[in-house]
Chain A
C-alpha cells in the first residue's frame, strides 16, 4: 500500500475483568496485547482469529469506543466509525423516527439525518411500514431498516464486524452489493471475518490475532 498512514496502533493491549467478588481475587482475560500496526488510507484490512481473540474489541478500540489498557492508538486526523446496525432502535417508535435517531447516533447532524430519510426509506423497501412502529416489523424488516441507515454512513475509516446477514435473500444480495461497493470505493475499511474466501475477495491485508499475540503482524 502506498497511501498515507491514517491510524497507528502501538503495542495495543486490552484485557477484560472476569468478575470476581469482594472476597475472590479478580482474574483477567487478555484479549490481545502488544499489537502494533499501521492502517493506510484506502486499504481494506481484515481481522481474523478464533472466538475471543479480540477482533471486535480491537474494532472498538479503533473506533475510539474503548480505551486500551496498554499501548496507544494514534489517529492522524480521520473519522472512524463502527458500522452498527439498528443502533439505538426503539421498538415503540415508527421507522422514520428510528432512522433519524439512529443516523444521529452514528454521528450525523439532525439536518443530515432528515435529508437522508427519503433515500433510507427507498433503499430499505419498507414502503408505508416506515410510519409503523418498529415493534410491528419482522426481524428481517428491522434489519433492512438498520442496514439502510448505516449504508449512508461514510466516515474516513469504516469498521465492519462480521458478515452482514440482512433480511431475505433478495435484500441480502442487494446489501452485499452495496457493501462491496462501499468497501471498494476509496474508503478505508477494517473488517472482521471468519470466512477465508470473503477475506480473499475483499481484503488487501490480513491481521491474524491468534498469531499476533507476540506483536507479530503479517
Chain B
C-alpha cells in the first residue's frame, strides 16, 4: 500500500501499480479465516472503495456483517450485489442465508427460487436450497434438491456431505453411515468423510469404530479397507512353547551361534580343526618329544584325558555367565532361563565333535586303532553331557545372585584340571585315596574314557550307574530351582 503513495509519477501509471483485486482481497479473507468479523467487515468496507466492481466486496462484506449480527446492513449490501452483478449467484445464495438467519423464510425461499432459475449450473444454489427446505421441515424437497446437486455435480464434495448430513439430521444412522462411506469413496482426502462418520459411530455407541475412522483420516481410505479385511498376514503363535519348540529353539540358536562365531574369522570353520590340532601338537611336542615323561604311551594318555576335560571346562566356563549375558533378551521375551546355559552346552558340543574326530585320527596314527569297545563312548559322552548340563545350569543360576562367583570359575576349573588325573595315572595315587579321587565325577569320567580308548576295555558300568544317578538327581534339583526362579531372573540380572 505504501508503494502507491510514493511521489514518483513516471510510468507505469498509478492505476497499474495497484494490487490485483484477488491479492487485495486476501487481506480481508485472512481476517474472515481468523473469524475476526469486525476487522473483516472494516477491511471489506475499505476495499469496497477501491474495487466497487468486484462481487466479493459486497457479498463477503455482508457475510462478515451477518456474523456480527448486523442483518439489516448485510441485507442492503446483498440487495446491492444482486442489482450490480446479475450473473453472480452469491448475492442470492448469501441473501437467502441472511434471510434465513433473520427468520425470514419467505424471502429466503423467493431468493433461492430465483437463484435456481437464473443459475441452474451453480452447485451452492442447490445445496442451499436443500438446506432451506430442511430448515423448514420439507425433507422431500431437501432430498430432491440435494439429489439434483449430486447428479449434476458429481465432483463436488459438499453435495455428498449434505446428503449424509440430511440422514444424520433425520436420525437415520444406518443411512448416514452408508452415505459417509460414499463420501470417503468419492473424496478420499475429504476430512468430513472421516470426522462426521466418526461422530455417527460415537452416537451409535461404537467408540472403537469412531477412533478407527479418525485414524483413517491420517492413514487414508486404503488403510480403512485393509483393516476391514480379516487379517490374513498374521499367524497366531502357539498357546505355549512346548518341549519340542523349546528344543528346536535351543538347537537353532546354538547352530546360529556357531555360524556367527565362524563368520567372525577369515578361516571360519577351519578354526575348529586348527585350534585342537595346535593344542594337541603342543602337548605332543612338549611331553612326547622334549620331556619323554611318563614313558611309553604317555601322550595318548594325556590327550585322552585332556580332550574330554577341555570340553567340560570350556562348556562350564561358557555356560556360567549366560544368564547374566542374556538379560536383554530375557527382559524382552518370555523364555525359560534354562535356554541360555543349554545353548552354551549344545554350542560347545557341536564344536567338540570335530575335536573328538581329531583325537580319533591321532589315536589311529599313534597305533591305537578303534575296537568294538568304542561303542561304549556313546554312554560315556552322554553322561558327560548330562554332567555339563547340571554344572553349567547350576552355575548360571547362582551367578546372577552372587556375581563375584564368576571370578572363581576359572580357578575352580584349574583346580579340577589337577584333581582329575589329566597329567598323572591312577596308580600314582595311594590306595586309600582312590575312592575319594573317583568320587570326583570328572576324574571318574576320564578314567572311563581311558579304559575304552587305551585299555580297550568296557567302562566300569557300576561307576557309570552311580554317576548317572547323581547327574539325574542334580538335573531334577536344577530344573525345580529354575521353575522357582523363572520370574525372578529378569529382575535380578538388571539389578
Contacts and interface: CB of A to CB of B under 8 A. Distances in A.
Query: Do these two chains really belong together in a complex?
Result: yes
B465 interface: no
Interface of B is mostly: helix
B332 A202 contact: no
A65 B334 contact: yes
A100 B234 contact: no
- Chain A interface size range: 35 or more
A38 interface: no
A167 B356 CA distance: 47
Contacts of A152: 233-235
Contacts of A115: 235
Interface string A93-106: 10001001100111
B491 interface: yes
A67 B219 contact: no
B333 interface: yes
A11 B354 CA distance: 55
Contact of A106 (B237, B239, B491, B495): B237
A66 B337 CA distance: 12
A65 B248 contact: no
Given A110-B252, A116-B235, A16 B219 contact: no
A67 B256 CA distance: 30
Interface string B256-272: 11011101100000000
A100 B236 CA distance: 15
A183 to B, nearest CB: 9
Interface in B233-248: 233-241, 245, 248
Interface string B212-254: 1011001100010011000101111111110001001100110
A104 B249 contact: yes
A91 to B, nearest CB: 8
B238 A109 contact: yes
Contact of A60 (B219, B252, B331, B488): B331
Contact of A17 (B261, B330, B495): B495
Contacts, number: 135
Contact of B249 (A63, A87, A105): A105
B487 interface: yes
A101 B252 contact: yes
A138 interface: no
A203 B256 CA distance: 40
B403 to A, nearest CB: 10
A116 B234 CA distance: 9
Interface residues of B, number: 46
Contacts of A42: 208
A112 B227 contact: no
A154 B232 CA distance: 11
Contacts of B334: 63-65, 81-82, 107
A16 B260 contact: no
Given A65-B490, A110-B252, A184-B211, A105 B329 contact: yes
A100 B252 contact: yes
Interface string A3-33: 0000000000010110100000000000000
A116 B237 CA distance: 12
B486 A109 contact: no
Given A105-B329, A176-B219, A201 B211 contact: yes
Interface in A109-149: 109-110, 112, 115-116, 119, 133
A65 B331 contact: yes
Residue among B226, B237, B252 with the most chain A CB within 10 A?
B237
A108 B214 contact: no
Nearest to B492: A17
B382 interface: no
A71 interface: no
Residue among A19, A106, A107, A108 with the most chain B CB within 10 A?
A107
B237 A101 contact: no
A103 to B, nearest CB: 9
B439 interface: no
A153 interface: yes
A18 to B, nearest CB: 8
Residue among A63, A81, A109 with the most chain B CB within 10 A?
A109
Contact of B259 (A97, A106, A155, A176): A97
Contacts of A16: 491, 495
Contact of A79 (B207, B219, B237, B248): B237
Nearest to B223: A177
Contacts of B333: 65, 81-82, 84, 87-88, 105-107
Given A92-B259, A108-B237, 9 more contacts: A88-B253, A92-B263, A97-B256, A104-B248, A105-B335, A106-B237, A133-B263, A201-B214, A204-B207
